[in-house]
């Protein structure tokens, strides 16, 4: 069975992006889910000095090995002040020092959500622009606005138009995963 990496790009133990990434991954058939929980990672803050003195932390090497060992990726981005969370950026920066193609050319379903009406549109725009230069093969993408209003645990996306748009992106991703 193919392996699907699931990542909520937030260190929050209550991360809505972790919930959303898992929900999206559960819509994909014929895959085994491999979850990475950023709240359990204890990485030092990246600096070139620390890299020089101590090398790349094993957690970053392990993260890349997990990506490389999966067939496809579901990543949901949390947005802090219009950009990536510090925890995700830190993991990403460390990992890019181990392997510049962090996403290892694996098919990716890229998501974002937030309690606000833009659903993380700014961080999504940043990732759409930069991930392809970092081994990101983005097959489909979707931002879910106002998570608290539009998502119900056990039910999923409640707004019909948003659900239709999300389902269309999942279908694109499913086709790539199954190919
Ligand atoms: C420091 C900080 C900055 C934030 N900036 C934004 C923002 O720019 N846009 C947004 O939609 N939400 C913003 N939020 C709200 C987050 O979207 C919200 O906390 C969300 O739950 C984060 O996703 P997560 O639960 O997956 O960590 C911010 C929250 C924090 C703590």
Q: Is the CB of 80 under 6 A from ligand 1?
A: yes
Ligand 1 mean position to 68 CA, how many Å? 29
Average confidence score pLDDT of the chain: 98
For the CA atoms of the chain, what is the radius of gyration? 16
Q: Which tokens is 172 given? A: 């694109």
Is residue 112 in contact with ligand 1, taking CB distance under 6 Å? no
Please state the pTM of the whole predicted model.
0.97
- Would you state the pLDDT for residue 171? 98
In the reported structure, the alpha carbon of residue 156 is separated from the centroid of ligand 1 by a whole-number distance in angstroms of 20
Number of domains forming the structure of the chain = 1
CATH classification at residue 29: 3.40.50.360
Q: 43-71, pLDDT tens digit by residue?
A: 999 999 999 999 999 999 999 999 999 99
Q: Which residues of the chain have pLDDT under 50?
A: none
Distance, CA of 39 to CA of 96 (rounded, Å): 20
Instruction: Indicate whether residue 12 lines ligand 1 (CB < 6 A).
Output: yes
Which range of residues forms the domain containing residue 130? 2-178
- Alpha-carbon separation of residue 57 from 5, 7, 39, 45, 64 (angstroms): 21, 19, 16, 11, 12
Residue closest to 116 by CA, chosen among 88, 149, 91, 164: 149
Q: Which pLDDT score is estimated for 116?
A: 98
């Amino acid at each position: 069975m193919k392996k699907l990496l699931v990542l909520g790009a937030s260190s929050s133990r209550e991360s809505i992006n972790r919930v959303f990434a898992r929900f999206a991954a559960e819509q994909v058939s014929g895959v085994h889910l491999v979850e990475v929980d950023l709240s359990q990672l204890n990485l030092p803050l990246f600096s070139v000095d620390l890299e020089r003195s101590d090398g790349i932390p094993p957690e970053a090497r392990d993260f890349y090995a997990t990506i490389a060992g999966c067939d496809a990726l579901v990543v949901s981005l949390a947005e802090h002040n219009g950009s990536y969370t510090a925890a995700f950026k830190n993991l990403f920066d460390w990992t890019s020092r181990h392997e510049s193609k962090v996403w290892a050319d694996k098919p990716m379903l890229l998501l974002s959500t937030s309690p606000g009406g833009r659903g993380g549109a700014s961080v999504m725009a940043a990732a759409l622009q930069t991930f392809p230069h970092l081994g990101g093969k983005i097959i489909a993408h979707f931002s879910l606005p106002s998570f608290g209003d539009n998502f119900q645990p056990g039910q999923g996306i409640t707004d019909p138009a948003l659900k239709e748009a999300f389902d269309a992106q999942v279908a694109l991703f499913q086709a790539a995963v199954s190919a």
